[in-house]
Structure formats: structure tokens, C-alpha cells
Amino acid sequence: MHSQLSAEMKPTVHKVYPLIIQLTTKWEEYADDPKFATIKDALEAGLANTNKWYWTVKDTMMYFIMHDTFE
């Protein structure tokens, strides 16, 4: 995900938000995996922060414009 954004000269919302969703999904999988138990608290803190900002944007026109490009 980082390399995809790094390759962009100007990452735009239609690229950033799908990547955030992918990142969130992967972190949720890691948080549920016993292999990552030692960093579960950090993963959950990261998820809480990411979700806070993701859902803040959800109430804006940018969110609706961005999702219109996927449907």
C-alpha cells in the first residue's frame, strides 16, 4: 500500500481511500491472529485512529464523490 501511494506524484482520494480500507482490513486480520498478539494493542490503537478519520470524512462530499467513481 505504501509503495502504491509512493509511486503517485499526487495521490488522490480515489486512490487513497481504497488503500485505507485495504490497510484496515489487513490490520483487523493481524489483530485477530494469535501470531501478532504482542502488538495487538498497537494494531487496535491504529485501527481506532484510522477509523476515526475515515468516518469523519464519510460525512463529507468528498466521500460521496470518491465512491461514485467505484460504482
pLDDT tens track for 1-23: 667 667 766 656 667 778 888 88
Higher pLDDT, 62 or 69: 62
| Selection from 15, 24, 30 nearest residue 53 by Cα | 24
pLDDT at 42 (0 to 100): 96
Task: Domain ranges for the chain, please list them.
Answer: 2-68
The whole-model pTM stands at 0.66
Res 70 pLDDT > 60: no
Give the DSSP letter string of 32-58: H-GGGGGGHHHHHHHHHHHHHHHHHHH
Residues 31, 37, 41, 46: is their CA dihedral positive or negative? negative
Residue type, 26: K
